[in-house]
Amino acid sequence: MKEKDSIVDCPEQQVVLYVEKEDGNYEPVQTGSYLTKNFLDDYKLKRQHLEDSLHQKVQTGEVSPIYYYMILEDLTISELSARTGFKARKVKKHLEAEYFKSLSQDILQIYCDVFNITIQDMLKLIIPATSEPLDTNTI
């Protein structure tokens, strides 16, 4: 890459590239990130759409909150199985809303530790949005 082609105006994220100078030598140049400047907004929009659609599925009972976080963390069933210590068959059941309701607090805590969230954060997903504030002491 030539030096003139490497210059990107993106102060939010700087990178160092080795580019070909006018004299033919390669030297480091600090410049902005091309990906951040051109694609970060698109990524954020797609991520928000994914979160919204997954949240809707959780609230309608199609999937469990475990599925929500598994997809957002970009994990497979086998990866989640390895991280929790549960068999893949069991994890697959926990992804269904029907089986999620019967999980113990200990099992939920194992999943929460994997996702680095609290049990309250996980349970907030299944409570439909209301105009009144919720009493978190009853959760």
Q: In this structure, are 19 and 57 located in the same domain?
A: no
* Residue 138: predicted pLDDT: 45
Range of the domain at 93: 41-127
Q: In this structure, are 21 and 69 located in the same domain?
A: no
Q: In this structure, are 83 and 61 located in the same domain?
A: yes
Geometric angle at alpha carbon 56, from 51 and 62, rounded to 5°: 115
What mean pLDDT do residues 35-49 have?
Answer: 89
Mean pLDDT computed over every residue of the chain: 88
Q: In this structure, are 45 and 63 located in the same domain?
A: yes
Q: 64, exposed or middle or buried, with CB in 10 Å at 0-12, 13-18, 19+?
A: buried
Domain count, the chain: 2
Q: Does 111 reside within a domain?
A: yes
Q: Does 132 reside within a domain?
A: no
Instruction: Give yes or no for residue 139 having a pLDDT over 50.
Output: no
pLDDT confidence of 128, banded at 50, 70, 90?
low
Q: In this structure, are 45 and 23 located in the same domain?
A: no
Beta partners for 30? Answer: 16
* Residue 20: predicted pLDDT: 87
Q: In this structure, are 117 and 80 located in the same domain?
A: yes
CATH of the domain at 101: 1.10.260.40
pLDDT digits (tens, 9 = 90+) for 1-33: 887 788 888 888 899 989 888 888 898 988 888
Q: In this structure, are 12 and 46 located in the same domain?
A: no
Q: In this structure, are 122 and 83 located in the same domain?
A: yes
* Residue 129: predicted pLDDT: 54
